[in-house]
Amino acid sequence: MQPFENKVWLASPTMHGNEMKYVTEAYETNWMSTVGANINEVEKVAAEKAGVKYAVALSCCTAALHLCVKLAGERLYGKPAIGHGAVEGKRVFCSDMTFDATLNPVVYEGGIPVFIDTEYDSWNMDPVALEKAFEMYPEVKLVVSAELYGFPGDIKRIKEICEKHGALLIEDAAEAMGATWDGEQCGTFGDYSAISYNGNKIITGSSGGCLLTNNIEDANRVRKWSTQARENAPWYQHEEVGYNYRMSNVIAGVIRGQYEYLEEHIAQKKAVYERYKEGLKGLPVRMNPFDADRAVPNYWLSALIIDEDAMCKQVRGETEALYIKEASKSCPTEILEAISGINAEGRPVWKPMHMQPMYRMHECIGRDGSMRAKTNAYIAGGVEDIGADIFRRGLCLPSDNKMTVEQQNLVIEIIRGCFE
Q: Is the pLDDT of residue 380 over 60?
A: no
Q: How far is CA 151 from CA 125, 134, 299, in A?
A: 12, 25, 7
214 shares its domain with 281: no
Query: How much is the average pLDDT of 88-103?
Result: 98
CATH number at residue 352: 3.90.1150.10
pLDDT at 53 over 50: yes
Distances (CA, A) of 21 to 41, 255, 257: 14, 11, 8
- Which of these, 112, 118, 113, 193, lies nearest to 148 by C-alpha position? 118
Instruction: Give pLDDT tens digits for 195-244.
Output: 999 999 999 999 999 999 999 999 999 999 999 999 999 999 999 999 99
Strands 168-172 and 142-146: parallel
Domain contains 4? no
User: Does 129 share its domain with 211?
Assistant: yes
| Rounded Cα gap, residues 268 and 266, in angstroms | 5
Q: Is the domain of 255 the same as that of 266? A: no
CB environment 365-399: b (16+ within 10 A), e (fewer): bbbeebbbbeebebebeeebbbbbbbbbbbbbbbb
Q: What is the mean pLDDT of residues 269-284?
A: 98
Strands (E), 276-336: 285-287, 295-296, 303-306, 313-316, 321-324
* Residues facing 95 on adjacent strands: 116
- According to the model, what pLDDT value does residue 193 have? 98
Determine the pLDDT at residue 1: 78
Which region among 145-159, 183-197, 305-319, 355-369 has the lowest average model confidence (pLDDT)? 355-369
Q: Decide if 103 contacts 362 (C-beta within 8 A).
A: no
229, 261, 293 — which closes off a domain?
261
pLDDT in tens, 369-379: 876 544 444 44
Range of the domain at 27: 18-261
Least confident of 163-172, 188-197, 218-227, 362-371: 362-371
Residue range 329-360, pLDDT digits in tens: 999 999 999 999 999 999 999 999 999 999 99
| pLDDT the model gives residue 35 | 95
- Residue 182, judged by CB atoms within 10 A of its CB (0-12, 13-18, 19+), counts as middle
Domain at 84, CATH number:
3.40.640.10
The string of DSSP letters for 382-413 reads TEE-HHHHHHHHEEEPP--TT--HHHHHHHHH
Concatenating the DSSP letter of every residue in 240-289 gives S---B-BPPHHHHHHHHHHGGGHHHHHHHHHHHHHHHHHHTTTSSEEE--
Q: Are residues 131 and 269 located together in one domain of the fold?
A: no
Q: Are 211 and 297 in the same domain?
A: no
Within a domain: 10 = no
Chain centroid offset of residue 286 CA: 21
- What 3-state DSSP class applies to 162? helix
CA distances from 275 to 286, 288, 348 (A): 13, 13, 20
pLDDT of residue 372: 59
Same domain? For 324 and 313 the reply is yes
Q: Which of 261, 288, 308 is the last residue of a domain?
A: 261
* 333 found inside a domain: yes
Q: Are 222 and 160 part of one and the same domain?
A: yes
Q: Give the number of domains in the chain.
A: 2
Provide the H-helix boundaries in 153-248: 155-164, 216-225
Choose one of 230, 246, 261: the last residue of a domain: 261
pLDDT of residue 369: 80
CA distance 362 to 378: 17
In DSSP notation, 98-109 reads S-GGGTHHHHHT
Contact 218/226 with Cβ under 8 angstroms?
no
Answer yes or no: is 347 within a domain.
yes
Q: Do 244 and 347 reside in the same domain of the chain?
A: no
Shared-domain flag, residues 245 and 388: no
In-domain check, residue 6? no
Report yes or no on 199 lying in a domain. Answer: yes
| Cβ–Cβ under 8 Å, residues 249 and 34 | yes
- Dist CA 267 CA 262 (whole Å): 9
CA 162 to chain centre: 20
Q: How many CA atoms lie less than 13 Å away from 80 in the CB half-sphere?
A: 20
Q: Based on the domain organization, do 236 and 324 belong to the same domain?
A: no
- Please state the rounded mean pLDDT for residues 35-63: 98
Share above pLDDT 70 across residues of the chain, in percent, rounded to a whole number: 97
Q: Which residues contact 181 (CB under 8 A, 6 or more apart)?
A: 152, 153, 154, 155, 156, 189, 294, 295, 296
Question: Does residue 248 sit in the same domain as residue 286?
Answer: no
- In 3D space, the residue among 7, 14, 6, 3 whose CA is nearest the CA of residue 300 turns out to be 14
- Whole-number percent of the chain with pLDDT over 90: 95
pLDDT at 188 over 80: yes
What separation in angstroms does the CA of 415 have from each of 61, 65, 86, 327, 343? Answer: 33, 36, 47, 14, 14
1 assigned to some structural domain: no
Q: Is residue 361 part of a domain?
A: yes
Asked whether the predicted pLDDT for residue 381 surpasses 60, the reply is: no
pLDDT at 382 over 60: no
From CA 313, how far away is CA 329, in angstroms rounded?
9
Residues 338 and 363 placed together within one structural domain of the fold: yes
Residues in Cβ contact with 81 at an 8 Å cutoff, skipping those fewer than 6 apart: none
